[in-house]
Amino acid sequence: MEFKAQNIADFLGGRVEGDANIIVSDVAKIEEGKPGTLAFLSNPKYNKYLYETESSIVIVNDDFVAESEVKATLIRVPDAYKAFAMLLELYQQAKGNKSGIENPSFIDSTATLGNNIYVGAFAYIGKNVRIGNHVKIYPHVYVGDNTIIGDDSILFSGVKIYEDTKIGEACIIHAGAVIGSDGFGFAPKEDGTYQKIPQVGNVILEDLVEIGANTTIDCATMGSTIIRKGTKLDNLVQIAHNVEIGENTVMAALTGIAGSSKIGSNCRFGGQVGVAGHITIGDRVNVGAMSGVSRSIKSDNTVLLAPAMDIAQAARVTAVYRNLPQLRDQVLDLVKQVTQIKIKLEE
């Protein structure tokens, strides 16, 4: 698809500085720009690339002041980063504008399909499934019986949705994610073996949830594992049975949440965070990367390290870590001095 600079400016509510009729058909990083591409500049440390980029159009902030001649046509907007994000979303929608049902695919006769949906080849849609309008189901997706998928949701290739799952509107589930597999529930027996505890609950994803590639969300033992509206989970995240995650919480890759823990709204988790089972984390809690959370945390806190602790305490602990070699030398020196004093006292 091709767009003129003036069309882009009109869409963004910006103004053109340069050739309003110049055309672009792709996007690029400003440092890797080529003719016919659109780039953006918002971080001052990339300013130098503006004067050498080959991109035809660059989106910049209204208050940007050029220090020398710029070859590219500029589009000035209040916030270049947000404006470029809007264009990328529009570009992605145009690229992924698929519709129709490909063959071979299997759709049970009891399934209900909305308008303008896409079902890719080798997809499987089970009994009593309800699919909303404008849903896209890519090839090799499995949708189990009694699943509900809301309007405008996207399931990328290889996603597996177990039975009874409820997916809200405008959700995005990336390749390889598994939603609704059994929770890790086993009862130890006297002979040292384990008895599997049936997992009869389901998973609920509310509206605007995004699930990263190869992330897994277990169904509840009873009731529901719930991911609230607007939450975003990165790749390779594990959510165990009966967990509840509040609205607009984000979790980076390799985070693991153990069973029956409750996570509040607007929390932010760094990568490789581990959360123990049956604890509660309040709203607006920030958890630093590689932290291990073993106890409940009240709202409006930032914690670091393993075991996770308040950020002020973590700073003091980290300072001690850094000084351990020096502290060791000081302790050894003190031991030496005490030994010498004892020898003198015994003489």
Residues 123-161 pLDDT 10s: 999 999 999 999 999 999 999 999 999 999 999 999 999
- Which SS3 state, helix, strand or coil, does residue 309 take? strand
Asked, as a colleague might, if the bond just before 307 is cis with ω within 30 of 0, I would say: yes
pLDDT at 140: 98
Pair (123, 19) in one structural domain: no
Average pLDDT in the 207-213 region? 98
Pair (198, 303) in one structural domain: yes
Pair (104, 90) in one structural domain: no
Vertex 336: Cα angle to 334 and 337 (nearest 5): 65
Pair (141, 228) in one structural domain: yes
Q: How far apart are CA 298 and CA 99, in angstroms?
A: 46
Q: Half-sphere exposure of residue 14, counting CA atoms within 13 Å on the CB side?
A: 31
Please determine, for residue 1, whether its predicted confidence score (pLDDT) is greater than 80: no
| 296 belongs to a structural domain | yes
| 271 belongs to a structural domain | yes
Identity of residue 90: L
Pair (171, 278) in one structural domain: yes
Q: How far apart are CA 181 and CA 172, in angstroms?
A: 18
Pair (160, 196) in one structural domain: yes
Range 166-177 burial, b when 16+ CB lie within 10 A, else e: bbbbbbbbbbbb
Pair (44, 132) in one structural domain: no
Kindly report the CATH number assigned to the domain that includes residue 296: 2.160.10.10
Q: Which residues pair with 131 in a beta bridge?
A: 113, 149
pLDDT at 98: 87
Catalytic residues: 241
pLDDT digits (tens, 9 = 90+) for 242-299: 999 999 999 999 999 999 999 999 999 999 999 999 999 999 999 999 999 999 999 9
Total count of domains within the chain: 2
pLDDT at 346: 83
Range 69-103 burial, b when 16+ CB lie within 10 A, else e: ebebbbbbbeebeebbeebeeeeeeeeeeeeeeee
Residue position matching structure tokens 């910006």: 14
Pair (219, 107) in one structural domain: yes
| 338 belongs to a structural domain | no
Surface-to-core class of residue 282, CB atoms within 10 Å of its CB (0-12 exposed, 13-18 middle, 19+ buried):
middle
Pair (111, 208) in one structural domain: yes
Kindly report the CATH number assigned to the domain that includes residue 21: 3.40.1390.10
Full-model pTM: 0.84
For residue 91, name the pLDDT band (cuts at 50, 70, 90).
confident
Average pLDDT in the 187-207 region? 97
Task: Give the H/E segment covering residue 205.
Answer: strand 202-205
Q: How far apart are CA 74 and CA 57, in angstroms?
A: 6
pLDDT at 105: 97
pLDDT at 158: 98
pLDDT at 332: 93
| 334 belongs to a structural domain | no
| 218 belongs to a structural domain | yes
pLDDT at 320: 86
Give me the chain's average pLDDT, please.
95
| 19 belongs to a structural domain | yes
Please determine, for residue 220, whether its predicted confidence score (pLDDT) is greater than 90: yes
Q: How far apart are CA 128 and CA 261, in angstroms?
A: 31
Domain enclosing residue 77, as ranges? 3-95
Pair (139, 66) in one structural domain: no
Per-position DSSP letters for 213-259, written without gaps between them: TT-EEEPPSSSEEEE-TT-EE-TT-EE-TT-EE-TT-EE-TT-EE-T
For residue 188, name the pLDDT band (cuts at 50, 70, 90).
very high
pLDDT digits (tens, 9 = 90+) for 289-308: 999 999 999 999 999 998 89
Pair (138, 179) in one structural domain: yes
Question: What tokens does 156 get?
Answer: 């990328």
Which of 70, 95, 120 is at the close of a domain? Answer: 95
Average pLDDT in the 56-65 region? 96
Which of 95, 110, 134 is at the close of a domain? Answer: 95
pLDDT at 127: 98
| 135 belongs to a structural domain | yes
| 329 belongs to a structural domain | no
Contact 34, 28 (CB under 8 A): yes
Pair (233, 290) in one structural domain: yes
What letter would DSSP give residue 15? E
For residue 57, name the pLDDT band (cuts at 50, 70, 90).
very high
